[in-house]
């Protein structure tokens, strides 16, 4: 699956099987400025999460619909650095979860393995693999929408919370969520996504 550095319009987005966008696309987010200590208001968290969920919903009109996506923001300026969706199927890569892909692309863009000074938003609570990646990349904060228990209703999950992973680490990352849980859960209950889940369950039988 090819990667997109920028999505210029809806038509280009829908033609693409890979859903990745760099920060240049989201210049409007520069108007959302965090406090000097990197914290943001709950209203800002909600706004960003709803926007991410709405962007993710566009995948329902592509050959590869997914309910999982993540976006990384500068914790101080509020500028968006990168966002991407889950691409496990298209890339034949079990590690290509939305959070991991977004972290990989963000680190590549910065030329650094550290995302200290950045915050990650994700439509669903990170699995242990993704939360571990968040910790190793030194993210300041992780904000999630739907919970891992929500996701488990529709497919296989490792039922360990992100907070538990963080608590068993020598690295620190603030975990906030659920935020806009109902809005993010709509990605899972979308009829298109439900059909995909049903097909996936049938293939396992």
Query: Percent of the chain beyond pLDDT 70?
Result: 80
- pLDDT confidence tier of residue 22, bands split at 50, 70 and 90: low
What average pLDDT score do residues 188-202 get?
92
- pLDDT score of 204: 63
pLDDT per residue over 24-39, tens digit each? 333 333 333 333 334 5
Q: How does the average pLDDT of the chain come out, rounded?
A: 85
Q: Which residue has the tokens 């992973």?
A: 165
For the cut 90, the answer to whether the pLDDT of residue 187 exceeds it is yes
Q: From edge to edge, which strands make up the β-sheet containing 69-74?
A: 20-22, 80-85, 69-74, 118-124, 141-146, 174-176
Q: How far apart are CA 46 and CA 50, in angstroms?
A: 6
Report the half-sphere exposure of 94 (CA within 13 A, side-chain side): 4
Q: Which residue has the tokens 């030194």?
A: 138
Residue 99 bears catalytic tag? yes
Q: Tell me, what DSSP letter sits at residue 125?
A: P
pLDDT per residue over 50-103, tens digit each? 999 999 999 999 999 999 999 999 999 999 999 999 999 999 999 999 999 999
- pLDDT score of 19: 55
Q: How far apart are CA 198 and CA 201, in angstroms?
A: 5
- pLDDT score of 134: 98
pLDDT per residue over 128-173, tens digit each? 999 999 999 999 999 999 999 999 999 999 999 999 999 999 999 9
**Across 46-50, 119-123, 185-189, 200-204, least confident range:** 200-204
3-state secondary structure of 4: coil
The active-site residue out of 71, 79, 99, 166 is 99
CA-based nearest residue to 56, from 103, 119, 121, 123: 123
- pLDDT score of 21: 66
């Amino acid at each position: 699956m090819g990667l997109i550095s920028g999505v210029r319009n809806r038509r280009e987005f829908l033609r693409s099987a890979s859903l990745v966008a760099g920060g240049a696309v989201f210049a409007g987010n520069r108007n959302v400025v965090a406090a000097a200590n990197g914290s943001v208001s709950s209203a800002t968290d909600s706004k960003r999460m709803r926007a991410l969920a709405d962007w993710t919903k566009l995948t329902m009109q592509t050959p590869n619909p997914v309910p999982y996506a993540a976006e990384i923001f500068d914790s101080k300026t509020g500028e968006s650095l990168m966002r991407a969706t889950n691409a496990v199927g298209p890339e034949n890569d079990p590690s290509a979860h939305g959070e991991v892909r977004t972290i990989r692309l963000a680190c590549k863009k910065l030329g650094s393995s550290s995302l200290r000074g950045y915050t990650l938003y994700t439509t669903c609570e990170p699995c242990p693999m993704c939360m571990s990646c968040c910790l190793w990349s030194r993210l300041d904060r992780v904000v999630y929408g739907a919970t891992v228990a929500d996701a488990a209703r529709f497919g296989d999950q490792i039922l360990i919370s992100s907070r538990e992973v963080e608590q068993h680490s020598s690295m620190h990352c603030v975990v906030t969520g659920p935020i806009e849980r109902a809005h993010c859960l709509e990605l899972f209950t979308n009829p298109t996504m439900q059909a995909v889940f049903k097909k996936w369950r049938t293939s396992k039988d």
